[in-house]
Structures are given as C-alpha cells and as structure tokens.
Structure 1
Amino acid sequence: MKTNYGGCDYYVDGTHMYEDYEYEYKILDNNGNWLCPIAEAGEYLIFNQMPNAYLFTSYKAETYSCSGPCGDYHSVNLMVAPINTCQKYEGVAYGYSRPDNPSFEIISNKVLNDPPADNSFCDAINLAAVGCTGTQKFYWEYSTDAVNYTKTNTNTVFNENFQFIKANFTALNNYFGTIYFRALIDSDPSITEENIYSNVVNYNITSCSPLLNGDPIAADVRCNNESNGSVTLNFKTDITTNQKLLLNLFKDNNFMTHKFVSAAEIVNQSFTWTGIAAGSYTIKYQAQTNTDNNTLVGSLPVVSPTFTIANVTPLTFKVSPIQPACVDDKGKIQISASGGTSPYFYVLDGEPLTNKHSFTGLYTIPNELLEGDHTVVVLDSRDCIEK
C-alpha cells in the first residue's frame, strides 16, 4: 500500500483530540483490528495480509470568523471498506487551513496466475504479472528447489508477457522436473525497501519429444482378424538414456492402449509397435523421464498422421473328391482356393508344413488315394488357413 499518512505508529483509535481538533486514523483487518505493516519504506506499507478497511478523519470547528480565504475550520475524511486491489482512493477535504487529503493505493502481491492442471512445458513458457495497470516493474526469477532463486535479468510491467526459454539458461541443460517462478515487485525505483516478492507458481519441465521423420509405416495383419499388424515410427532425433517415450494408441479417436519405449528400443531412430489389429489409428506420444509412469500423454504431445492397418480377406477353399471309376481304381481330390494372400499351398494326410505343395486355380492333387478318409489343409503364402 502507498499512503501519505504512514503506518502503525500514526494510528489513532476512536475520536482523538489532537491539539484543538478531532483526529482518527487506522487501517483494519477483516476482524476490525488494527493491521500493522510488516515493513515501511517511505510512503509504502507492506502487509502480510490484505487490509480490509482504511479510516481517516480530521475535524476542527471554526474558532474565529473572517471574510475571504481564511479561518481555521477544516473537515477531512477518507473511509473505505472493503478495500479493492488495483484501485487508488483519495479523501475529501474542506476548509482553508487543513491537513493534506488522505490517499492510498494498493496492489496484491498475488500477480501470477495459477498454472493450468497440465502445467508441463518442454522448451518455453509464457509468464505475466496480471491484475492491475500500475507502474510497477516485475523482475523475474526461477528456482528448481523453491529455495535458491536465479535472476533472469528480465523485467516486465503489468500484463506484459515474458517468454521463459529454457535453452537460454545453461544451468537447466538436461534438467527435467519442477521449476518455480516468482517476480520481485518494484513499485518505486528510487528506493528498494518497498520491494516485495510475488506469489510463487510452479511448472513441470518435460523433455521435448522427437519429431516424426515421415509418415508412420503400417504393416497389415498376417491373416484375417488377427492382431499382428504393426506400425513403424521413424524419428528425426534420439531421446536420452534417462528418458523414455510414452505412446498412446487411438482408434477412431478412442484411446486403446499405451506403451513405454526405452531409448534402447529405438534403433537407428526407428521403433516398430507390433501386435495391432486391423483399423485406422493415430499415435500421440511424448518423451518423459524414466521415473515418470504417467500413462496418458499431456496436452502437447506429438500427434502422428492417421495410418491404416488393413485386414486381409479370409482364406476359403473347396475340396471335391473324385471317386474311382472302377472297383480297383483309386480316387483323387480336387481343390481350389480364394481370398487370403496367394500363392496357395496344400498338405495331404498329415504331411508336415515344410512339405507343402503349391497349386493354382482348380487343381487336382496328383496322389492316387485308397478308399477311406483323407485330410487336406490349404494355406496361403502367409500360412493362413480357413477359419
């Protein structure tokens, strides 16, 4: 608070006779008690809580009469309750010979807005002292332990943005975690005793995530309705050994699952996520420290372009026995296949798959078969079978 009538040493409670006039002056808290400043510097009073009321009255009755601008009558007062921050108040005064008009203005030191729920950033954050429009200057400082603060050598005025860029401070190289900000509020550059610190706000420095080097490369599922598709992500840069990537998989904008990827799993700046069913997907990802086990990305992840893992058509085949023409003749089997992924193969009567035989079109197996039950297994080029 800046006021022209001083602090607690000048408070007078109730109507007090001073020389030959009535006088009262006090600043009160929410309970109506005197609120004394914790420090005074010139006209500046520093409080550890917001004052609720300011009361100043001075009255002197006329003791002699005269004509023109003379006489000793005066009436001066300023009464404000409750007090609003960011506002200047000035009293009213009457009389020729009177005290100075009482006045005061006040700001709160809570000039830094609380961070949003997701208070993370990786490279830069915009900060501002807000609320009023005074001439105060704000000298910005940061800390990683909320005890020892480093000056940024930057000052702003009310409602002026300060972009804190992590790369400008070498002490923060490879630092990830909580960072605290405050501002030293200077209301009068001619003195220093009135300087006070603002409230403190904290943010979380995360690693900047590597950008994609091209679109995701999708591989389709091997067989119909299997969950063995994959997608390969190629990155422009590496992450450090104390970091991991958090990947969130979304199908049609619905969260499906997450995966942590260590630096060792990213080979030549490439990682392949396997075991994915057919569908259209996006991946949202971010780099974070190895000790950060949050499974959902924050508000500023890297978002991949949409990629599609295609389902293959199901493999189907037909088997037709060719009956022997005569009693002593042997039979054969005729097969055909469609769907799946050509070329097609078959194995007969329990042969191992390593002995599979290729065929095309409507095909008659050359083996002559004795009367009885026989089995044929048809496969495509990916060893898929009919389901």
Structure 2
Amino acid sequence: MKKLYYTFFIILFSVGSLSAQTTYIINSNTSSYSYTTSFFPSGDYYYQYWIKKADGNLLVAIKNVGDYLIFNEKPTQFYFYAYRPETYHCSGPCGEDWDSSFTATDFNANCFNGVGGSGGRAGAEIVPEFSIISNQVLVNPNPQNGQETNFCDKVNLQAVGCTGTQRFFWEYRIEGGSFQSTNISTAFNETFQFNRSNYLSTTYIGNIDFRVLIDSDTSVTGEEVYSNIISYSVIPCPPFLNKNPEPETTSCVYNNDGKVVLTFDRALITNERFEFNFYTADNALIPTPALSVDSTNKVYTFSGLALGQYYIKYQSFIGSQQTSVNKEPYPAFTIGPPSEFTFEIIETQPACHNEPGKIQLKASGGESPYYYTVDNGTEVEFTAISNVFTLTEGNHYIKVRDKKNCLSVTANDVQI
C-alpha cells in the first residue's frame, strides 16, 4: 500500500531587521504531482489534488525541496481525492476498486492532525494524511505573567508547540550585529539555557534577539525555515559585596559617629544606582546614614552610626528598572565603642605652707598621645602615660583629653 503524508508548518523568518515575512511549509510525497482540478491518471488510479489560498485560487509553491513545498501565502484549503476503478479482468469483478479522500479548510489551529478515509474492496494505495503546526514556537516573555524580559547571566528558552521530529537550532543577535549560531539544538518543549558568559562579552549591555532555525527533516537540506523572533534585554548582574561589612568604632564612647564600609565586586554603570536600608538588630528601620562613595574602588562608606548592631538591605536599579535585591542572610555588623578614655589625679600636698604641691596625671584607654590644660592655660602634651608637675597652693581646674578629643565621662574639670 502506498501512503501520502502531509505535514504543514506555519513558519516566520527574519528578513533584515525585526520585520518578518510569513512563509508556510508542507511536507508531502505529492510534491512531484501537479495540481489537477479534474481526475488525472497516476498509474492504475486517478486523483484530484490542490492547495488553495484565501481568495480561492490555487496556491503555488515558491520552492520545492525534496518532499517539501514552501509557500509565501497561507494555505486555506487542502483537497485530495483518489480512486481506482474495478477492471473486470477476471471474467467479472476482481475486487480492485478503492477510493480515498481528505478535505481540510481550517488551518488556524496551532496543532492539527488528520487522516483521510478510504473505501472499496481493495486496500487503498493512497490514504492522505497531514498535520499542521504553527511557526510561533518562541513565546515572547510577558511581564504581566511574571516573566522577566531581561536577564544578566542566563535565561531559559524553549521552542514550544506540537510534538514532532523537528529540531530547533538556536541563534542570537545583539544590537548592531547579525544572527550567530549557538551550536545548540533542541526538540519541542526542551529547554535551552542561554549562558551569557559563553556568547557575550562581559561588558555588553543592551538588546538581544533569539530565533530558531526549524529543521523539519535532518536528512534533507534546504527545507529549513526561521521561526519568529523574541527579544530580551541584557542588563548588568547586580553588584555583590566581595567581603563582609567593615565597621569602625565611634571616636569616643559617647559619640554617634561610627562608620561601616561596604566594598562591592563591580562599579555601577551609567544610569545605575543603589538604594540602601539600615535596620537595627530588633528590625527597626533607621534613617540611612550619610554616604560617601569611592566609585573607582567600589567602596561605600556610611557614617554617623551610634553604638549597636545593624543589618543592611540594598537594591540596585537601572533607571526605574529594579535589577537586584539582596537576600538573607543580610550583611550584619556591630558598631562598637573604642577603648574608653579615663584619667586619674594623684595629689602630693606640700610639706610646708610656702612650698608648691605636686600632682600626677595618669591616663589610660582612648588613643594616645594625651593632653592636659590647667586653669584654661596652654595645652601640654603628656611626655609619658603619667605626668608629674607642680601647682601653687589653691584651687585649680584640670582638663585631660586624648588624641581624638575624647574626654573622660567620669573625671574632668576636677578641682584640686
């Protein structure tokens, strides 16, 4: 028995830019037959066969490759009818008669399979069959459905549609370039993960298009047709901290001037920005501390922090497009106090009423060198951790500070 197989493909391929021309492919072993609106002999049987377009006229293929017919207009009607008459060579009927037919007019479905019917006393030599699939095998990402329209490092792609033997050969194009092969092919609904590092420079930011070359039969050359095109935006991957936050103590135990330094793995690009939120350990949001940026070294320094424990949430944006949100565990740090500065006054009373007294200053903590003043006089730097000097009889006021101008919280302006 001889069978005819018809496979319809609605294919969209790129012409020049993103504009597209629609083409259609039919796979059939009738490609060597001519259309005929009246019965025409083929061996021992007769057939009628045509494919028509929307205006009712015959649709003629613009290309014929093996068993494949390629059209530049949409088929709207397929018709096939064949029969073999009884020959009566057997002193009566020989039982050779058969007929088969198939008519289809709805090619709008994305997936369609049909098999013609047959009858007669002999098995039909020709039973028409065909299937149709849409060329829209690539689905445009839809942000309303929660799908991302951009990516920084990788994106999962699929050629979806009807199950079949077709292979889809993936290509990509960036702005200002032509389509390039990825050397990857997939079947229907099989995922291809496009990894940016395998195909693009680390500095490329911009549009990227994808399409597939649909190969209906890998044993035939020339019937391949391009699919529709989908587009994404390549954005920079979000900056990441390349080390833990580096806190700095307050200058004095009573000051709110602690700092924290954040160092990221890359600098921001044009039109990109950060948003930072600081929280205390008990999850209270605080005003964002004052910020200074060393963009060359990718260093962000926040100052004006009180003693305490904190954690940070940050986001990056390109224009109004959010590109990242850091996730738990959030970077945490503690602003601790410096070594507390204190000093001690040790008095030595004069032996006689007309002799000067002596005192000894002992300082500790804070940061040396230390300085003292007596009765708002000239400030003197300690020559050692402790300092001994004489004072005249009477009341005196002594103030002591360390290098950071920290004062003792327990002993200052002491009266002797």
Aligned residues: 304
User: Normalized against structure 1, the TM-score is what?
Assistant: 0.60
Is 2:5 the partner of 1:5? no
Structure 1: gaps of 5 or more residues: 220-227, 310-357, 367-387
Structure 2: gaps of 5 or more residues: 1-7, 9-26, 249-256, 334-406
User: Normalized against structure 2, the TM-score is what?
Assistant: 0.56
In 1: Cα distance, 2:304 partner to 2:142 partner: 36
Deviations 1:128-185 (A, max 9, x none): 211122111121111113761111112222222111112123x534211111111111
1:238 match: 266
8 A Cα contact 1:71 1:97, kept in partner: no
What RMSD, in angstroms, separates the aligned Cα atoms of the two structures?
A: 4.9
Is 2:271 the partner of 1:247? no
In 1: Cα distance, 2:39 partner to 2:87 partner: 15
Matched residue SS, 1:178: strand
2:178 match: 148
1:313 match: none
Q: Identify the match of residue 60 of structure 2 among 22, 25, 36.
A: 36
Is 2:227 the partner of 1:205? no
In 1: Cα distance, 2:301 partner to 2:91 partner: 99
Is 2:194 the partner of 1:164? yes
Structure 2 counterparts to residues 303-318 of structure 1, below 5 A: 303=327
8 A Cα contact 1:111 1:130, kept in partner: yes
In 1: Cα distance, 2:272 partner to 2:93 partner: 82
Q: How far did 1:267 drift?
A: 5.6
Q: Identify the match of residue 46 of structure 1 among 70, 88, 91.
A: 70
In 2: Cα distance, 1:58 partner to 1:109 partner: 30
In 2: Cα distance, 1:269 partner to 1:155 partner: 40
2:132 match: 106
Give the AA of the match of 1:181: F
Give the AA of the match of 1:205: V
Is 2:205 the partner of 1:176? yes
In 2: Cα distance, 1:281 partner to 1:10 partner: 77
In 2: Cα distance, 1:70 partner to 1:48 partner: 46
Give the AA of the match of 2:214: I
Q: How far did 1:121 drift?
A: 1.1
8 A Cα contact 2:86 2:94, kept in partner: no
Structure 2 counterparts to residues 218-297 of structure 1, below 5 A: 233-235=262-264, 237-239=265-267, 242-243=269-270, 245-249=272-276, 265-266=294-295, 268-272=297-301, 283-286=313-316, 293-294=319-320, 296-297=321-322
The higher radius of gyration belongs to 2
Q: How far did 1:98 drift?
A: 4.8
Aligned identity (percent) is 35
In 1: Cα distance, 2:228 partner to 2:311 partner: 44
In 2: Cα distance, 1:86 partner to 1:116 partner: 22
- Identify which range, 106-115 or 90-99, moves more after superposition: 90-99
2:14 match: none
Instruction: Mark the CA change 1:233 to 1:103 in structure 2 (over 3 Å): closer, same or farther.
Output: same
Give the AA of the match of 1:168: N
Matched residue SS, 2:141: coil
In 1: Cα distance, 2:176 partner to 2:130 partner: 33
Matched residue SS, 1:158: coil
8 A Cα contact 1:86 1:133, kept in partner: no
